[in-house]
Amino acid sequence: MQADHPTHRIELDSATLARFMPMHLLLDSKGLALAYGPTLAQVLGAAAVPGARFEDLFEVRSPGGAVTVEEVLARGGNRFRLVPRNGVKAGLRGLGQRLGPQGGILLNLSFGIDLISAVRDLALTDADFAATDLAMELLYLAEANAAVTRELRGLNLRLEGARMAAEEEAMTDPLTGLRNRRAADLVLDRLCAARAGFGLLHMDLDYFKAVNDTLGHAAGDFVLETVGRILREQLRAEDCAARIGGDEFVVIVAGRSDPKTLQAIAGRIIARIDEPMVFEGGTARVSASIGIVRSADFAAPDATQLLASADRALYAAKHAGRGRAVLLAAGE
């Protein structure tokens, strides 16, 4: 192929060579250093002295088994990888060529993928690279990429935050700040699936309609908010209190199956709700009826069955004269 083209012999002075190949190494025919490109000299530091032996400057990574520059050229053709022996963490790629039968050897090296750490460790600048070198583009790309990745990570975090807030909103009753029906159903399903022991309280306010009718809807809302506060105060973090209808509430008391305990909790809630609620000069008086069921009373509890039983218990409580709590065992 070369025979088709005229061969030009050119002579370069070392300054021109250094400008075109700032990482070249010129060796004599025995493999002793004659001249170093200025950037390679920075890599090698104090080791870059005239007369240094190639194998003392570099460990050959490939071609495997090669140690001297002659072996590198003989086995690897003109492609090889080196690591400086002075501890600088920079893999170097290179190509080399013997200049004439008895002449010296010219190697030209470049940083591989270790470019960024080499630039950092050696504080290299734009001027240390040939204008044709793509080093600047690689450095630029690495930083631009890092910036884009950072933005994406930030976006993910912000979207995740927004998703969690939306989910929280979708599970919350805006008036009372309690959970809503959907959230209560999810909690019930989860506890039933886990065969956990818990108590379920179904509560309905007594005389609530009268408050709405005589004191107005704002007073009614105030009563609901107050009931929400009372439920939050009476319950633990692991319990779930939800408003599932106009003046209808569900309370899931996690890990409690003792009838006396559940009755006591219901009693405390009723006592607090019985207290007069002062609203803009007027006094709202409501009470509450509560039906109680225990998951332990069911062989295979499921949410629908539990809620239906709790509803029957609630009906029994209303029937028994309001302002009280009734616990129904399964089948009752």
CB of 110 to another protein, least distance (A): 15
What are the C-alpha distances in Å from 317 to residues 211, 292, 310, 327?
Answer: 21, 9, 10, 9
CB of 165 to another protein, least distance (A): 11
- Measured between alpha carbons, how far is 48 from 37 in angstroms, rounded to an integer? 10
Residue from 192, 290, 282 nearest 241 by CA: 290
In the range 176-235, which residues lie near another protein by CB under 8 A? none
Residue from 138, 131, 125 nearest 20 by CA: 131
CB of 42 to another protein, least distance (A): 13
Amino acid identity at 180: N
Neighbouring C-beta atoms of residue 313, cutoff 10 Å: 24
Amino acid identity at 102: Q
In the range 43-62, which residues lie near another protein by CB under 8 A? none
- For another protein, which residue of 12, 67, 155, 157 counts as binding (CB under 8 A)? 155
Q: In what order do the strands lie in the sheet with 248-254?
A: 240-243, 248-254, 198-206, 287-294, 325-327
CB of 126 to another protein, least distance (A): 5
- For another protein, which residue of 158, 209, 217, 268 counts as binding (CB under 8 A)? 158
What's the distance, CA 166 to chain centroid? 18
- Pick between residue 150 and residue 268 the one whose CB is nearest to another protein: 150
- Pick between residue 126 and residue 274 the one whose CB is nearest to another protein: 126
CB of 141 to another protein, least distance (A): 5
- Pick between residue 78 and residue 145 the one whose CB is nearest to another protein: 145
- Measured between alpha carbons, how far is 202 from 305 in angstroms, rounded to an integer? 13
In the range 109-148, which residues lie near another protein by CB under 8 A? 116-117, 119-120, 123-127, 136-137, 139-141, 143-145, 147-148
Residue entry with tokens 């012999």: 9
- Pick between residue 80 and residue 111 the one whose CB is nearest to another protein: 111
Binding-residue total with another protein (CB under 8 A): 23
- For another protein, which residue of 152, 210, 278, 320 counts as binding (CB under 8 A)? 152
What are the backbone angles phi and psi of residue 293, rounded to the nearest 5°?
A: -130, 160
CB of 116 to another protein, least distance (A): 5
In the range 293-332, which residues lie near another protein by CB under 8 A? none
- Pick between residue 49 and residue 136 the one whose CB is nearest to another protein: 136
Q: Which residues of 84-117 are buried (b: 16+ CB within 10 A; e: fewer)?
A: beeebebbbbbebebeeeeebbbbbbbbeebbee
What are the C-alpha distances in Å from 18 to residues 23, 37, 110, 131?
Answer: 7, 5, 13, 12
- Pick between residue 115 and residue 286 the one whose CB is nearest to another protein: 115
Q: Which stretch binds another protein (CB under 8 A): 11-19, 150-158, 219-227, 264-272?
A: 150-158
Which residues is 95 bridged to in the sheet? Answer: 108
- Pick between residue 143 and residue 213 the one whose CB is nearest to another protein: 143
CB of 16 to another protein, least distance (A): 21
CB of 154 to another protein, least distance (A): 9
H or E element that contains 105: strand 105-111
CB of 257 to another protein, least distance (A): 46
- Pick between residue 154 and residue 267 the one whose CB is nearest to another protein: 154
Binding site for another protein (CB under 8 A): 116-117, 119-120, 123-127, 136-137, 139-141, 143-145, 147-148, 151-152, 155, 158
